[in-house]
Amino acid sequence: MRLATLVVCLMIGAGLSPAAPQKDKDTCPSNGRQAGRGINFYSRARELALGRDLAMDLERSVRLIDDPVVSEYINRIGRNLALNSNSQFVPRIRIIRSEDTNSVTIPGGFIYINSGLIRAAHNEAELAAALAHEIGHVAARHYTRQASLTDLLGYSAIPLMFVGGLPGLMLQEGASLGAPLVWKKFSRSAEGEADRLGIQYAYDAGYDPTAFVDLLERISLQQLGKRNLIDKMMAEHPEIDSRIRAAQKQIQNRLTPREQYLLQTSEFDQVKQRLITIESNGNVPRRPAYSSTPPDERPRIRRPD
């Protein structure tokens, strides 16, 4: 029984705890804090190599939008957010042609955002919030931490092979049944950590942090009624409602209000319309004469209520 208890404790506890939240309000840049603490068997060089291989495989199976104007704009926002993060990787962001409001991050800073998520954003701050969440995954190295946990669980099961008879079978079965719970707990913890880091990164970059809540609320309304109770119980990601509550609490208790926040730019509207045009008829509009916000128009800002 002591062996079984040891295995269960190892499976539940190994590498699952994200960085502990701070009690005081955050007034310093987030790149001075740690992210992604926990077991990780991958060096950064190995993680980058793994990401390149996975990126090649992924890009063979999806439709990408390679428009230079849209890509440059998205990557510029991503690099700015990364500069205000504790990520050790420069983000490389590509756009998948898909209606789903989703995105995926693989090792080494490779981020893929669906065009449906870009179109769901109502302003640049919401788009930045979505990208900041993915950069949170990059900074915390969630993929390789989970891969390390997989290796660790495999090693922990080796002693069970030497336990014979019915007790050995019971222990091995218990370990196999416990593994999915570990993955689900890790995934939910990782999403929560990416939310917390992403909100901080967007705030440090000057964006309105409440844009993250606005975007989640809109996505939640779109998904209303699409999932049943069993789907919710088995979901690897936390429920959107719980993520919204956690984000609101973080913004209220841990971020010092500012007089002004970046909310919108005319460039966002132009890029979003360009993306819609590309997806609707495939005709690429002419490239604008400028690649950034025009000098005679300042970004729109939101003042705290």
| Secondary structure class of 270 (helix, strand, coil) | helix
Per domain, the residue ranges of the chain are 2-8+41-280
The single residue listed with the structure tokens 């499976």 is 11
Residue type, 41: F
* pLDDT for position 183: 43
pLDDT (tens place) for every residue of the chain, 305 residues total: 444 334 334 343 443 343 444 444 443 444 445 676 778 999 999 999 999 999 999 999 999 999 999 999 999 999 999 999 999 999 999 999 999 999 999 999 999 999 999 999 999 999 999 999 999 999 999 999 888 877 776 544 434 334 444 444 444 444 444 445 444 565 788 899 999 999 999 999 999 999 999 999 998 887 665 554 444 444 445 688 899 999 999 999 999 999 999 999 999 999 999 999 999 976 666 655 444 444 444 444 454 55
Is the torsion defined by CA of 144, 254, 81, 269 positive or negative? positive
Judged by DSSP in three states, 301 sits in strand
Angle between helices 68-83 and 266-281 (to 10 degrees): 140
| DSSP category for residue 93 | E
The confidence score (pLDDT) of residue 293 equals 45
Let me know if 37 is exposed, middle or buried by CB neighbors in 10 A (0-12, 13-18, 19+): middle
b/e per residue, 41-58, with b = 16+ CB within 10 A? ebeeeebbebbeebbeeb
Q: What is the pLDDT of residue 284?
A: 61
Please give the pLDDT value at position 236: 46
Beta bridge partners of residue 26, listed in sequence order? 255
